[in-house]
Amino acid sequence: MAGTGANQIGVNRHGILHKVGGLSRILGDSGGALDLGEQAIAAAMRGQDGRGEPTALHDRILEQLGIEHLEDVIEFYFVGAREIFDPARLAPLVFESAAAGDAVAGRLIAEAGREAARCANVILARLFAPDEAVPIVLGGSLWQRARCQIMYDALREALDPRYIGVELRLLDVEPVLGGVLYALDRYHGGFVDDVIRGRLARTYVPPAAEEA
């Protein structure tokens, strides 16, 4: 899962679970929109002052945040700042810049994909044999809405090649439905059948769509 944050969890045929990440950036999480937004600011600053490669992210961030100088972003972190600052909202700019050919943005996205692979490789090693069929389901806004080939390819290339049965799948419903299905599984004492799963997928209305 890669949305505002990122975490990975696996379960094998014996019901053994292993989770990687999902606690906080302080404890090593990366690869989500929050991380990507902060990395974009840093890359833009480094490109401006000469420590790194110039990037279109610089001007895009200024426009998005309504500031004249990139260093003014620091003011958003002060107590009593003029608004609540969420770096995750800059993530779409990174994907847009990469699509327009910006190399720096492309590298940031590729690193997010590689981070997902690092976590997946840990889970594969803990729970599965190299010849097992293992679906890796990609969910969250960075996978489901951005649908960026750069991120997908970086993930695929960084997966442990010994696990020949791995298959990447893009989640085709809203991730929140997983919580509902899990609750139903627990209530019924087993896995919910496909009829109920299909009904949930057809009838669920995301909040944004409902408000519109």
**pLDDT tens column, 94-151:** 999 999 999 999 999 999 999 999 999 999 999 999 999 999 999 999 999 999 999 9
Given a contact cutoff of 8 angstroms between Cβ atoms, the answer to whether 97 and 148 are in contact is: no
User: Average pLDDT in the 183-193 region?
Assistant: 81
Given a contact cutoff of 8 angstroms between Cβ atoms, the answer to whether 136 and 167 are in contact is: yes
Given a contact cutoff of 8 angstroms between Cβ atoms, the answer to whether 134 and 85 are in contact is: no
Q: Evaluate if residue 209 carries a pLDDT over 60.
A: no
Question: Is the model more confident about 190 or about 26?
Answer: 26
Q: In the chain, what percentage of residues exceed pLDDT 90? A: 71
Q: Evaluate if residue 54 carries a pLDDT over 50.
A: yes
User: What is the predicted pLDDT for the residue at 196?
Assistant: 83
Torsions phi, psi for 56 (to 5 deg): -65, -15
Contacts for 17-22: CB closer than 8 Å, 24+ residues apart: 18/122, 18/123, 18/126, 18/127, 20/119, 20/122, 20/123, 21/119
**Domains, the chain:** 7-170 (3.30.420.40), 176-211 (no CATH)
User: What is the predicted pLDDT for the residue at 211?
Assistant: 46
**Rounded CA separation 44/51 (Å):** 10
**Rounded CA separation 40/91 (Å):** 8
Q: Which helix (H) or strand (E) holds 177?
A: helix 176-188
Mean pLDDT of the chain: 91
Q: Evaluate if residue 164 carries a pLDDT over 90.
A: yes
Q: Evaluate if residue 212 carries a pLDDT over 60.
A: no
Kindly report the pTM of this predicted structure: 0.88
Residues 56-107 have pLDDT tens digits of 999 999 999 999 999 999 888 776 666 678 999 999 999 999 999 999 999 9
- Residue type (1 letter), 201: A
